[in-house]
Structure formats: C-alpha cells, structure tokens
Structure 1
C-alpha cells in the first residue's frame, strides 16, 4: 500500500538526483545564486524546485507549504534542498565541461526520442508545453535545454562513479554494519480504512464501525477462510489486492505500528491480529522473516559504496573556492511555491 510507506528526504534526494542531473541555461539573465563564476539561473532553480515540490506532494503528501517541518516551513525546506541540488549539479556540469565531456550522436538521438515520447504521451506539442509549464514553471524550449545538460552531467557522473572499485571485504563490512537493511518481513493484510476520499479521518462512529468490521474479518481468518478471497472482498488497500494483500519489506519502510508487529521477535508464521495505524485497521497475517544472504546483495552494496565515494568527492569539491556558492538573496526570496 503506497500510503503506508514512509518516505524520507534522503530518499527523495536520491530519486531527484538520478532524475535531474545538472542544468545550465544561458539565455536567462536573472539568477538565484552563483557557484564560483557560474550562475544558477531563475529557470534552473524553478526546475529543481518544481521537482522537489512534485516529490513532496506525491510521496510525503505535503500540500500546505506554510506547514512546519521541524523548525522551518515546508516551503523553506523545499527551497533549501532545491538550491543544494542545483549547486551540486552545477558543479557536475562545470566539471563535465572542464573534462571535455560531450554527448555522442547516439546520446543526442536518445535525448530527442525522450522529448518525442513526452509529446506522444501528452498528445501534442502544446500539451507537452502546458505540462512542463505546470510542473516547473518553465517553457518547453527551456526544459529541452536543461535536460540536454542533465544528460551531459549524468554522463560525467557515471564516468567518475566507475573509477571507484570497492572490494568484497568492504562490501561485507557494509552488510554487517547495516543488517537491518537486509532483515525482511513478509506479511499479508486487509485494510479497513478510517479515512475518507480526501484523506481526512472519518467521524468517531464510523471509525467504530470500521473496528467492528475488522474484528469480524479477523474471526473469518481464524476460522480458516481463504485470506486472498477476504482481501478481494474487504480490503481498502487496492494496491495490494492483486497480491493477496502481501508486502515484503525491511525496517523503516512501513508505518511504526505495522512494522513493530511484523518484526516482533516472538512473531511466527501464521500469527494473525488487528493492528491500528493512522490509515485504519489492518487484519494482519504473518508469513515469514528472513535475512537476505550477502551474496544476493553484494553487487547492489558495491553500487552503494561507489555512490558513497562519489558523494565524498562531491563534498570535497564543495570545499573548493572554485565551487563556493553565493545566493542572490533578492531573487531567491522572491520565488514562492504556489
């Protein structure tokens, strides 16, 4: 169930960085900040801010940008992350140009195909323009220019990441230090929601009815009725219906109550109960818990270690005065999230 997953800002950044890459648009005289001698233009910044806004709305369900996240507003947080992302990608683009990294004909062809695909998906060039304008607040031509440099910076990054060669011993050490990431639980559940279609809590009497309904379903489960059939008949978690209500996950991926029940050390196959979360009442059925063997994840860990090494390299670049950042406070402060 998508709404059960807890997304953190770090995860958002990983997705955004992989998607966005670096940008550099020359025909915009306004700028939000300078990285060394290079400008982060208003257009570039809007691109990153639009990306962050989309991520937060769809993964953390933030719609009120004046709401507090820690000691700052959601808008302040989004703007800070957008600026940091823009800085890192400006550095990548500067490094790419310094190292004479260029797109070859096949990469240019692939990029053009991606633009054609957006037009095909939206239905027309006009609709593509409208979609980009709505999400990022920039024009279609600006978007194309930005995305070309995205590919350029991504190519540079891939080359740098490929220079790192973690050993098997380093990968094993990472595995041993992060075993929670490889401790997986598999459970099935039936959700009886206590939220309305707008995501608001139902009245207390309706929530009480949901609880009683969950208790009735639990009795059916205990009597041996087919769980998958009960999922199809009753569950409000439409995302998992076709899988019989089943999820496999590691710690930190689900809401606390759901996770605590699943990872209880006394939990055994066949255990069933009702767990209440902010989403409603979950009729739970425990399937199994297992450690993923090191050999099964060694290659993915090596990839993680390469990315960590690249992050360290990025941090070293940030310490170089060539890539220091200076905000254009007036322009930065004038940009708001609608």
Structure 2
C-alpha cells in the first residue's frame, strides 16, 4: 500500500472515530480563498482533529490553558484555519504545476472512502464526497511537497551544527567504554537526608574531617596498607564492605572525583579530593579496557544515531524550504474568514 495513502487514512480515521459528523449540514462558508469558498463542515473536520490532539496532550484541562496570551481554543481554531488555507493553496498550486494523483491512487482513495463510510456510518449517513475530498487534497499536498523537495540539497554545515548541539550525540560521542576500578577513603562533610538531599554536618565536624583526611594521607604516604586504612577510617558505608572499591564508567561519578582518577596511573594515590560528600583519598587500581566486540557495537550505535539525526535535520531543512515557498504562494491569495460564523464555533466544550 502507498505510504502516503496510509498517512492520510490515519488522519481521516481519527476524524471519523472522534465523532465529527461528515453530514453536509453546515452549508455556510467560513473561508474564502480568492474565488474558492470552504464550507464550515470541512473546516470542522480539521478543527476536530486538532481538538483530539490537544486533549491527548493535556486532557480536558488544556482548554483552561493560555498560550502566549491566547486561549487554547483560540490557538486550536487558528491552527485549523491555517491548515485548511495551506491545503487549499497548495492544491491550487498543484494544478498550476501540473501535479496530480495517479489513477491508481484515486482508485485507492475511492475504495478506502467506501470502506470507512461503511464501517463507521449507517448507510447513506456519511458525506462521501467530503471525506473523499479530504483524502485527495491531503495526499496531493504530500505529492507537491515531494515533487518540490526531491532535488533538495541540504546545508552540510547545518547538519554538523545540529549534531554538535544534540545532547545525546554530544554525550555518546565523548563517552568512553573504559572502566576505572578504584578504592577510596571518605571523610564526610555532608550526610544524605531522608529525601536524598545532602545536608551539611556541623562546621567543627567538617573541619575535623579535613584534619583527619590529612592524617590518613600522611599514613598512606608512609606506606601503610591502603585497604587497612579504608577499614579504619572511611565513612562511605556503601563501599566499605568492599574495601572502598568502585568500578565506574566516565560520567557516573562526581566531576571532581573523576578528574582526580583520570590524572592517576594504576597504583597511584591522589591528594585530598573535595566533593559535596566530603574529602576523599583515591587509589586507582586498574583501567579496564573494553572488548573489541563492545567497541564495535558502540561505534555502530553512534553511527545509527548520527544517521537518524542527519535524516531529521535534512527533513527540517526540507520543511523550512517548502514552508518558505508556501509563504510566498500565500501572498498571492486574498483570504477572508467569515467571523460571523467562525466566532460562534466552540472547542473543548
């Protein structure tokens, strides 16, 4: 099945399932674009779609929300008008450009419209021509978009900048698979509270912690066994049962802790390192290199992420180019809204 048609089917399905009537009971014209007049019935199809999207995000409460000085209802109605105007103008330009749907696509539309009306409406109650027109016009917009952007050349500098600004890409690009096995001694200046916040200990206790750290460091330098000093002095209850040991990847520990470790060679011991928890003395035991399989897998994941982000940015650039063309087209048309009718339409009530 044509992917474009699948997309349009999803759109119309949502309209039908949501309960918006497609009976042509609203013969009033709400938009005039040059000589073309758009029935209220058709505009309500698009408004109902937007209403469903809003409520999917924020529930019924969303209608009590303001967006930059506009109510949610005003935003939804404005977007519905903009969507309809865009579709009508692009369809008009499709005729000028000689772009049309194929016979196969038109047959698909006829078949799907009949199937949906049969499934969701009693016989004779659905407006077949209106639903068919929605299918056709939306599909034709996609056709115009694809035709105008098929030879689009993206800005490679923008792609590179997009990659640099993506937080996930930045994180994984600088990520190291090396693991660091360390042992440390902690003299606490802060305690973890019941709500997982760090609460400072009394000032005299903090001062004593630093003096004790100096004392322990001196013992280390005099050659006392590090593991014994861990058991005698460390206040890190999480690691003390494992002789003060942690194995971690870059980014898993506090910045000051990691910076001290990265400046050590295996077997070396740090000076006193201050973190929000207190004062540490750290011994780097081992740098564990990743397996070749892990490296290859990780590089593959980075490549996939880069491809996804690149495609996203190219699509963004295409959209911008097409939107720029549309805005130029729009200037050629005289667009009028029948406010006497449109102002009485409510959303979310």
Q: TM-score, normalised by structure 2?
A: 0.50
Q: CA RMSD in A?
A: 4.3
Cα distance, 1:112 vs structure 2: 3.2
Q: What is aligned with 1:61?
A: 59
Q: Which residue pairs with 1:31 in the alignment?
A: 29
The count of corresponding residues between Structure 1 and Structure 2 is: 214
Structure of higher RCO (CA pairs closer than 8 Å, 6+ residues apart): 1
Check if 1:159 corresponds to 2:169: no
Match of 1:126 among 108, 121, 130: 121
Q: Aligned runs of 1:1-338 on 2, under 5 Å? A: 19=11, 29-63=27-61, 65=63, 67-115=65-113, 118=116, 124=119, 126=121, 139-176=127-164, 178-180=165-167, 182=169, 294-318=306-330, 320=331, 322-337=332-347, 338=349
Rounded to whole Å, the distance in 2 between the matches of 1:181 and 1:129 is 53
Tell me by how many angstroms 1:264 deviates. Answer: 11
Structure 1: distance between partners of 2:156 and 2:124: 48
Give the conservation status (yes or no) of the 8 Å contact 1:128–1:140. no
Question: Structure 1 length as normaliser, TM-score?
Answer: 0.51
Distance in 2, Cα, partners of 1:42 & 1:304? 32
Q: CA deviation at 1:173?
A: 3.3
Structure label with greater radius of gyration: 2
Greater shift in the superposed pair: 324-333 or 141-150: 141-150
1:168-205 deviations in Å (ceiling 9; x for gaps): 344223333x32374579xxxxxxxxxxxxxxxxxxxx
Q: Aligned partners of 2:327, 2:253: CA distance in 1, in Å?
A: 39
Unpaired runs of 5+ residues, structure 1, are 1-14, 131-137, 186-211, 216-221, 223-261, 269-287
Distance in 2 separating the partners of 1:182 and 1:153: 33
In the TM superposition, residue 55 of structure 1 has moved relative to its aligned partner by: 0.5
Question: Cα offset for 1:336?
Answer: 1.8
Rounded to whole Å, the distance in 2 between the matches of 1:106 and 1:127 is 27
Deviation per CA, 1:226-281, whole angstroms, max 9, x where unpaired? xxxxxxxxxxxxxxxxxxxxxxxxxxxxxxxxxxxx99986x9xxxxxxxxxxxxx
4+ residue stretches of structure 1 with deviation over 4 A?
A: 127-130, 181-185, 262-266, 290-293
Question: Which segments of 5 or more consecutive residues in structure 2 lack a partner in the other structure?
Answer: 1-6, 13-21, 173-193, 197-237, 239-250, 258-297
Q: Distance in 1 between matches of 2:310 and 2:252?
A: 24
Specify whether residues 183 and 83 from structure 1 end up closer, same or farther in structure 2 by C-alpha distance, changes over 3 A only.
farther
